[in-house]
Chains A and B, each alone.
Chain A
Amino acid sequence: MKEKEARVDYREHQLVLYVEKKDGSYGPMRTGSYITKNYIDDYWLKRRNLEKEYLDRVVKGEISPIAYYMVLEELTPSELAARVKIPARRVKKHLSPATFGAVTLDELRRYCEVFSVPLSSMLHALVIRGKTISIREAKTDNPYFSLLKIEAGKK
């Protein structure tokens, strides 16, 4: 690949590509990510649609919040089980709302560490309608406790 074909002006996501330079030599070149620059909007659109679809399924009682986060993080039950360090059959049990109640508080905390979300995210979701307010749950050093942060005048 020629150097000029590889050049992408995108500071937010830099990477290194190996290219044929102007003098004919081959070597590394720092440039922007082509796919992030051109397709990131499409990625976020699909992500939002996926979140909405699976949140609806949680609300309807079709899946548990664990199943919701598992899909979002592109994990399988066996991989999730290995990360939470519990048997895969137990994870499968936790994916259904009917048997989600069997989860222990400590297991839930370990799921949340894998998903990097506060514990409370397993029991409710924030739905924000206003455009000038920011509401988010923030993790604290206490794994069983989160803060609800509401900031006015922000998107």
Chain B
Amino acid sequence: MTTGGFHHAMAAHCESGTVASILSHAGLQISEPMVFGISGGIFFGYFESKKFPFPTFVVRNRPGQIRTNLAKRTGVKFTERRFRDPAAGERGLNGLLDEGKPAACQTDFFYMNYLPNHVRVHINVHFIIVVNRKGENYIVSDCYSPSLAEIDRDSLIKARFAGGSFAPHGFLFYPKYLPESIDYKKAIWKGIKSASFMMVKLPMPFLGVKGIRLFARKVLEWPTIARDTEHLSHEIMKINIFLEDQGTGGAGFRFMYATFLREASELLNDPDLLDMSGRIMEIGDRWREISLFAARIGKRRDLGRDRLGELGSMISDRADEEEAFFRDLLALSKKR
């Protein structure tokens, strides 16, 4: 495969991994946790909407914000393009590849047919880097694939122009400007401050720590929404997938955030950040207990009111811990 010197690496999450990877290729060496942390990626939201067949939750900020917040806080600039029709989108991408420029593309994850069938669902916020063309296929660097992968032209077009929520409209981006030096201290603290604020200060009852508490209460109502026991089991086990498997680096991004805080503490020589890093790592360990518990009770169909109450109580405890953690982190950010 001709990759124009592009170095493929797996990463925990598609957006932070893609941004880190395409910046590294352009000459800015930055780790995935640093991208995630500076962009204020850590979050929580609990959602019930007619767009979702079942209540769901997110553990990161809005798709696209990792790139936009990072750019805003570091001075990096990206060229971003959207297209009205697939033919123009294909020409736009091919033109870049012909110039030897890999491009990050937003896609519908369902069409990434080099990944196992059971993980592929319709979700329009999957990011990959298209590295080159090979006949009618494209060579892509997908953070979830152990090696560079090939995707056929038809699937890539469908993935880039799928309709629905967060429709990609052929969106692609690549770095156009890298600053000579980055004020990491400023960028890191801005990222920390915004993430902490979002976790503890937003008034909406379904966002941040309030969202975790809502989740803890609402999970008790899930049996009344599910079609039957197997459906309930499936949804409960998806808690594990959302926290561990769906590109979070484990414990709903809490482990990645701990890594960011530790990297930041070393870079800024700040021992307070090292303490906070240890604290969020421990909180993450207890999120992981929730993941394992959800998988176990789902498999056993042990989904009575008592068991779900236990699950809700574990989630509620995480809300208390995260409220204390992010309040302390916010207070710390105001002193810096």
Contact = CB atoms under 8 A, between A and B. Distances in A.
Contacts, number: 127
Given A28-B32, A75-B53, A35 B146 contact: no
Contacts of A122: none
B226 to A, nearest CB: 12
Interface in A109-153: 113-114, 116
A10 B237 CA distance: 19
Nearest to A17: B250
Contact of B122 (A25, A46, A50, A75): A75
A12 B192 CA distance: 36
4 smallest beta-carbon distances between A and B, as pairs? A18-B255, A17-B250, A26-B259, A82-B164
Tell me what chain B mostly uses at the interface: helix, strand, loop, or mixed. helix
B51 A26 contact: no
Nearest to B277: A26
26 contacts: A1-B250, A14-B146, A16-B10, A18-B249, A18-B259, A19-B250, A25-B262, A26-B258, A26-B262, A28-B259, A30-B10, A35-B237, A35-B241, A39-B299, A43-B234, A49-B230, A73-B121, A74-B54, A75-B122, A76-B50, A76-B52, A79-B51, A82-B163, A84-B163, A116-B110, A116-B111
A39 B167 CA distance: 31
B119 interface: yes
Contacts of A43: 118, 234, 237
A62 interface: no
A145 B110 CA distance: 22
Nearest to B284: A1
Given A28-B32, A30-B146, A73-B110, 15 more contacts: A1-B251, A1-B285, A13-B116, A14-B10, A15-B144, A15-B245, A17-B249, A18-B250, A18-B255, A28-B259, A34-B244, A39-B237, A44-B118, A74-B122, A83-B164
Interface of A: 1, 6, 12-20, 25-28, 30, 33-36, 38-40, 42-44, 46, 49-50, 73-76, 78-79, 82-85, 113-114, 116
A6 B284 CA distance: 13
Contacts of B281: 1, 20, 26
A73 B250 contact: no
Contacts of A17: 12, 244, 249-250, 255
Nearest to B281: A20
Nearest to A34: B244
Contacts of A49: 230
Contacts of B60: none
Contacts of A42: 233, 237, 298-299
Contacts of B284: 1
A35 B12 contact: no
Contacts of B165: 79, 82
Contact of A78 (B51, B144, B230): B51
Interface string B257-285: 01100110000000000000100010011
A83 B258 contact: no
B11 interface: yes
B158 A76 contact: no
Contacts of B74: none
A29 B163 CA distance: 35
A74 B121 contact: yes
A46 B259 contact: no
Contacts of A20: 281
B51 A28 contact: no
A40 B144 contact: no
A1 B262 contact: no
B230 A50 contact: yes
Contacts of B244: 17, 33-35
Contact of B295 (A1, A39, A79): A39
Contact of B51 (A1, A30, A76, A113): A76
A113 B158 contact: yes
Contact of B162 (A6, A26, A83): A83
Interface string B12-33: 1000010000000000000011
A114 B56 CA distance: 22
Contacts of B121: 73-74
A46 B236 CA distance: 13
A47 B259 CA distance: 37
Nearest to B108: A83
Nearest to A13: B116
Nearest to B165: A79
Interface in B202-252: 230-231, 233-234, 237, 240-241, 244-245, 247, 249-251
